[in-house]
A = this chain, B = another copy of it.
Amino acid sequence: MESSGQRRTTIKDVAEAAGVGVATVSRVLSGGSASAGARERVLAAAARLDYHPSALGRNLRRRRTGGVGLLVPDITDSFYARLADGVLSCARSYGEPVTVGVTGDDPERESELIGTLIEQSMDRVIAVPSGDGDVWDPVLRAGVNVVFAGRRADPDVPDVPAVLADDRDGVRTAMEYLTGLGHRKIAFLARRGQSQRVAAFTGALAALGVPVEDDLVVHARASRDSAYAAAAGLLQRHPDVTAVLAGGNILGEAAVLAARELDVRVPRDVSLIMFDDVPWAELCSPPLTVIAQPAQDIGYRSAELVLRQGRRPREVVLPSELVVRASCGPRRPRR
């Protein structure tokens, strides 16, 4: 472990070995202009000494850290894991390292992590925003390139591009499907911060002429426990509900478990549609009908937006898709 005496080979060593000045070495290595002879000798010396330029020195001089920061609520959630995978995959093709932070959907942790990022002089950040948009003001004023992925900040932050899935369309399709099966009492099991989707839900129902009942929208926090409690509470307190839309895969999982525990059969007693297609949706019993989200694409496109300089569109909307499996059936009154 102790590397006493081991000194990192610097640009100075290369310059000396090649018989040129440090400026020339720097130019050759970063694509500047140099004579053929000099270029050749520098390259040879660099290879011989196994020289790797230090990102530290470069970053300090350039006054910015390379790489991009990524803030997600929960890396354990398949949706965010796939989103992160998309970001990582794009960043890799640019050779940029990615620093990941988990916010737990907690505004306080989020602003704490933002603090770390600006301390690191990260100037490019992709975030699934948790708290209100104000925390982003100092970041933007510091000239950081921010892109929101998957959702917008709640009091919206202008000038920040966002890459989103088409929730509105996904929900509309799902509601048409459910009402087509005869359902009228449809509940939405939402996570806090899904105001976007809640709006799409009530909007879609209203457009279909179905009365919207406010207390059929129940909210849970981000944890599995909270999701289960909300799902069980919903099924118990509202025996007249015949269909449930779960706002994410954690909530869908909770709904399946709660239904099983309470002896509510799917789809006989209640129909279930879940946001986000995950590998296990097909393995579940019954296989779950889902609104598939292009999580990986969202991540990839966000990374592209943040890494590729040039004009940036204010919003990119990617399509959602209803994948019909076996968790929905015709309406039958429960009990």
Contacts and interface: CB of A to CB of B under 8 A. Distances in A.
Interface of A: 1-3, 6, 8, 52-57, 59-60, 63, 65, 67, 74-76, 78, 81-82, 84-85, 88-89, 92, 95, 97-102, 109, 115-121, 140-143, 145, 159, 224, 253, 256-257, 278-280, 282-285
A159 B97 contact: no
A278 B224 CA distance: 13
Given A76-B85, A116-B95, A280 B280 contact: yes
8 pairs of A and B residues whose beta carbons are closest in the complex: A285-B285, A280-B280, A3-B143, A56-B60, A81-B81, A283-B284, A100-B100, A55-B120
A152 to B, nearest CB: 18
B75 A75 contact: yes
B3 A141 contact: yes
B97 A99 contact: yes
A270 to B, nearest CB: 16
Given A75-B81, A285-B285, 11 more contacts: A6-B141, A55-B120, A55-B121, A56-B63, A56-B120, A84-B100, A85-B102, A88-B101, A97-B99, A97-B101, A280-B280
A1 B145 contact: yes
Contacts of A145: 1
Q: State the oligomeric state as a number of copies.
A: 2
Given A56-B121, A120-B55, A143-B6, A85 B95 contact: no
Interface centre among A82, A88, A89, A145 (most CB of B within 10 A): A88
Contact of A98 (B6, B60, B100): B100
21 contacts: A1-B159, A6-B141, A52-B115, A55-B119, A56-B63, A57-B60, A60-B60, A67-B99, A67-B120, A75-B88, A85-B102, A88-B100, A92-B109, A95-B116, A97-B99, A97-B116, A97-B120, A253-B279, A253-B283, A256-B283, A284-B284
A285 B282 contact: no
Contacts of A54: 119, 121
B2 A143 contact: yes
A84 B282 CA distance: 26
Contacts of A57: 60
Interface centre among A100, A141, A257 (most CB of B within 10 A): A100
